[in-house]
Amino acid sequence: MDNRLPYPTDLNDQQWDRIAPMIPPAKPTGRPPRYDRREIVSAIFYQMRGGAAWRMLPHDFPHWKSVYHYFRLWRKTGLWQHIHDQLRGEVREAAGREREPSAGIVDSQSVKTTERGGVHGFAAGKKVNGRKRHVLVDTLGLIWLVVVTAASTQDRDGARTLLQVLTQQMRRLRVIWADGGYAGALVEWVRGLRRWGKVRLELVQRSAQGRGFQRLPHRWIVERTFGWLGRWRRLSKDYEYLTTTSETVIRVVMIHLMVRRLVPAKRTRRSARRKTFWTRSNPIFAIWQCELHEFKLLPRQVRLG
């Protein structure tokens, strides 16, 4: 990174120190590595945010074949999931929570696929031909379980695949909130997953009297998580051939988000000026406000700021 200008997805030194100990070093034997591990990770984060093909990585990054090689290798060895799980626990502890949650929210998101192929189907309810992302998040919006299936998979069937690991994992979990699409036999199936430490599935329904948008308790948390993922263009559609790669992409995105939450980037003087520009003390703001009054776009009795 010393030989190039930084990208917005690059980690600073403090953020890199959070994940550097978990990334395996180069092998002591054989040819010396050509690229630094930090540059490899920076290129992967850039590719996830930009959403371009691997071959279209900028030339100031390592060669795209090397970047994809490490992305695929760390997926097969489980390194991405290990880093994700470790950072997730640290984020919860930094927020004053236990490392494991006692409550979670389950939901799904249907996204389109491309001509790449692989598992896909048609979701009749959403009118989407592609795949469906089933996730379980905690009350902070952090992902604990993720499974990608064909979009034709029903939410209840996808939840069975997603939650079947609760027999051995997440022993502190006691309640899961879900929408009406998970009603039916799934409620009793979830309760029968464990002989002790039972988990109950609670349905959060929309009010019958309410119209339009409703901010439903607990369910908005998982929708916010989907909003976080939607800002990364690699996740705007499902471009991957394997569903396991799609799940890894989600974990990589969450790794970047959690590192930024643990070590927030310092505000630059430029961003500070941008935030304080539109103030009453700024003459340009006063001119802009007068123009709005002149063109009757802003009532005079409305106060800004």
pLDDT tens-place string over residues 246-273: 999 999 999 999 999 999 987 655 555 5
pLDDT tens-place string over residues 67-107: 999 999 999 999 999 999 999 999 999 999 999 999 999 99
**Is residue 228 one of the residues assigned to a domain?**
yes
* Helix H or strand E segment including 84: helix 79-94
Distances 304 to 161, 233, 244, 293, 298 between C-alpha atoms, Å? 51, 34, 49, 12, 10
**What is the span of the domain harbouring residue 179?**
99-239
Do residue 108 and residue 218 come from a single domain? yes
Do residue 125 and residue 232 come from a single domain? yes
Q: Looking at residue 278, what is its pLDDT?
A: 46
Measure the CA angle with vertex 89, ends 88 and 90; round to 5°.
90
| Residue 126: Cβ within 10 Å count | 14
Of 114, 84, 105, 126, which is closest to residue 249 (Cα–Cα)?
84
Q: How far apart are CA 147 and CA 269, in angstroms?
A: 42
DSSP 34: S
Cβ(150)–Cβ(131) below 8 Å = yes
Cβ(179)–Cβ(204) below 8 Å = yes
* Helix H or strand E segment including 285: helix 283-294
Do residue 286 and residue 230 come from a single domain? no
Question: Does the pTM of the predicted model rise above 0.75?
Answer: yes
Do residue 231 and residue 126 come from a single domain? yes
Mean pLDDT for 270-283 is: 50
Do residue 188 and residue 289 come from a single domain? no
Give the pLDDT band of residue 298 (cuts 50, 70, 90).
Answer: very low
Q: How far apart are CA 37 and CA 262, in angstroms?
A: 21
Distances 135 to 47, 138, 169 between C-alpha atoms, Å? 23, 10, 15
DSSP 110: E
Q: Looking at residue 124, what is its pLDDT?
A: 86
Percent of the chain with pLDDT strictly greater than 70: 84
Do residue 150 and residue 208 come from a single domain? yes
- Count the domains in the chain: 2
Give the distance from CA 266 to its chain's centroid. Answer: 22
Give the pLDDT band of residue 213 (cuts 50, 70, 90).
Answer: low
Cβ(120)–Cβ(246) below 8 Å = no
Q: Looking at residue 32, what is its pLDDT?
A: 86
**Is residue 26 one of the residues assigned to a domain?**
no
Mean pLDDT for 226-253 is: 95
Do residue 194 and residue 281 come from a single domain? no
Q: Looking at residue 31, what is its pLDDT?
A: 86
Q: Looking at residue 48, what is its pLDDT?
A: 96
Do residue 233 and residue 288 come from a single domain? no
* Helix H or strand E segment including 250: helix 243-262
Q: What count of Cα atoms within 13 Å lies in the side-chain half-sphere of residue 278?
A: 5
* Helix H or strand E segment including 103: strand 103-112
pLDDT tens-place string over residues 12-61: 999 999 999 999 988 888 888 889 999 999 999 999 999 999 999 999 99
Give the pLDDT band of residue 209 (cuts 50, 70, 90).
Answer: low
Of 106-120, 140-154, 257-271, minimum mean pLDDT range: 257-271
Tell which of 209, 239, 269 closes a domain: 239
**Is residue 21 one of the residues assigned to a domain?**
no
**Is residue 88 one of the residues assigned to a domain?**
no
Radius of gyration of the chain (CA): 23
Q: Looking at residue 4, what is its pLDDT?
A: 85
**Is residue 70 one of the residues assigned to a domain?**
no
Average pLDDT, the chain: 86
* Helix H or strand E segment including 13: helix 13-19
**Is residue 25 one of the residues assigned to a domain?**
no
Do residue 153 and residue 220 come from a single domain? yes
Do residue 212 and residue 113 come from a single domain? yes
Tell which of 215, 239, 263 closes a domain: 239
Paired residues of 292 in beta bridges: none
Quick one: tokens of 285?
């703001």
Q: Looking at residue 214, what is its pLDDT?
A: 64
Contacts of 1 (CB under 8 A, 6+ apart): 10, 38, 39, 42
Do residue 153 and residue 204 come from a single domain? yes
Q: Looking at residue 2, what is its pLDDT?
A: 65
Phi/psi at 274 (5° precision): -65, -35
Q: Looking at residue 158, what is its pLDDT?
A: 94
What's the CATH code of the domain at 235?
A: 3.30.420
**Is residue 117 one of the residues assigned to a domain?**
yes
Q: How far apart are CA 146 and CA 131, in angstroms?
A: 13
Burial of 237 (0-12, 13-18, 19+ CB in 10 A): middle
Percent of the chain with pLDDT strictly greater than 90: 68
Do residue 281 and residue 218 come from a single domain? no
Higher pLDDT, 1 or 121: 121
**Is residue 175 one of the residues assigned to a domain?**
yes
